[in-house]
Amino acid sequence: MINPVYGGSTFKDASKGLWTWAGNYRDSKGMNHTKRISAKTKKGLNKKVADFFTKQNDERNQEQDITLKKWLEQWLEEIVQPSVKHKTYATYKQRLTYASNIIGGRRLKTITSFELQSFFNALKKSDSISSKGLAASNINQIRSYLKIALDAAIEHGYLIRNPVKGTKPLKGCKKEIIVIDEEQVNTLLHIAKSGTYITYGVQNPKCIYYNQGTEYLNHCCYNFVNLALASGMRFGELCGLKWESIDFENCMINVKEQLLTSNDRLQYFDTPKSRTSRRHISIDDNTISELKEFKEYQQEYAKILGDKFYNENDLVFTNGFGKPMDRSNFVSYRFRKMLGAAGIPKGFTVHSLRHTHATLLLKNKVDLKAVSERLGHSSPDITLKIYYHLLGSMEKEAPTAWQKIISVAKDEERQ
């Protein structure tokens, strides 16, 4: 007789002359299934059903002893990867590699909050990959991703409680946003346009080899920096910008895709970072005029190079052969030299061009909502959170502004 613990029903199929058991079971991942097992004899059926449930129990016990590393691999592959952008998936995977490498061998259900807190604290001293520790912000990001992964483990029956919830985020100094003022912007643009920065830091400038490619990159990199400052676009959005996305007549840019680089150095096009990142940005006449001139210059340069210049995606900004710009090459061989020649303080990055755009607009009384929309933020609250330091300095101007308001009112009253 079949063990009643298995449930289901047993009957004989007269047409086939077989004994059959039909019932439900739960697999190792907690999912319910329907199963039919048949045999020539009732005794043979009993053995088959017993063997089947023994196997299921063995698999379930094995799954319950799953390690942290194994679960993170399954979660990333089966749950995260199909539902997020490639860049987001790569970030999750890269961050959680620290957990997999250091405590990945621990059985999932035995990991404690104290153990995880020690792990997070240790990352600040050394990340096990290099002798240098991680910044608190990076460690807190790892903590956040691990919490999401273990919440999913609870949903799938591998855990009862999430040990990350018993840990505390690490305190750290918030990274200061470095921006430049109007005078520094003009200096940077002047240096970038002149192309003289290319010899910055070079002991013997005569060693620099100039050709048409050098001149093309001078024009390209100047327009890249100029548009970054004029639009507040992200680096990937600028790299992925195509000529068809620039409306010269209406002085408008349509941001509809970006060019990103994966961890294995492969470049690919993707939709913008978020829904609100798909946007139209109005551009000043001078910048539009310079872009129009650069387009004509690029076309003439392409004719000179012939087949050697292959801009298959019709990109605005390319390397000397029409391929997409490479971030590391741009920063190392162009941008840092521009900054050095212009005397821009250390800590100013490519992304600082975006911060400078926003800061100068807010400083000149442009509406917060308008600035937020130009940047592609999901709400003005995000913009306010990032640039609150600027608004704090503007608060000092409030008494003077109020005094002017009252003075005007009093003058009107006297009249």
Tens of pLDDT, residues 397-412: 667 667 666 766 556 5
Which amino acid is residue 323, in one-letter code?
K
Cα distances (angstroms) measured from residue 319 to each of 3, 143, 239: 73, 39, 11
> 242-255: per-residue pLDDT in tens?
999 999 999 999 99
What kind and span of H or E run contains 25? strand 18-26
Nearby residues of 49 by Cβ (< 8 Å), 6 or more positions away: 2, 3, 6, 21, 37
Cβ atoms within 10 Å of 259's Cβ, excluding its own: 22
Which amino acid is residue 21, in one-letter code?
W
Cα gap 77→58, rounded to integer Å = 24
- What angle is formed at CA 8 by the lines to CA 6 and CA 13, rounded to 5 degrees? 125
Cα gap 394→398, rounded to integer Å = 7
Nearby residues of 102 by Cβ (< 8 Å), 6 or more positions away: 119, 122, 128
> 357-396: per-residue pLDDT in tens?
999 999 888 999 999 999 999 999 999 888 887 666 666 6
Measuring CA to CA, which residue among 363, 382, 385, 383 is closest to residue 371? 383
Q: Global pTM?
A: 0.70
> 253-264: per-residue pLDDT in tens?
999 999 988 777
- CB burial of 132-147 (b: ≥16 within 10 Å; e: otherwise) equals eebebebbbbbbebbb
Q: Which residue matches tokens 């002991």?
A: 203
| Residue 11 C-beta-side C-alpha neighbours within 13 Å | 9
Cα gap 129→131, rounded to integer Å = 7
Pairing assessment for the beta strands 246-247 and 252-255 based on DSSP bridges: antiparallel
Per-residue confidence of the chain (415 residues) as pLDDT tens digits?
A: 555 656 788 888 777 888 888 888 777 666 778 888 888 888 888 888 888 877 776 665 555 678 999 999 999 999 999 988 888 898 999 999 999 999 999 999 899 999 999 999 999 886 555 557 888 889 999 999 999 999 999 888 888 899 999 999 998 767 788 999 999 999 999 999 999 999 998 887 777 778 899 999 999 999 999 999 999 999 999 999 999 999 999 999 999 999 988 777 788 888 888 888 899 999 999 999 999 999 999 999 999 999 999 999 999 999 999 999 999 999 999 999 999 999 999 999 999 999 999 999 998 889 999 999 999 999 999 998 888 876 666 666 667 667 666 766 556 555 5
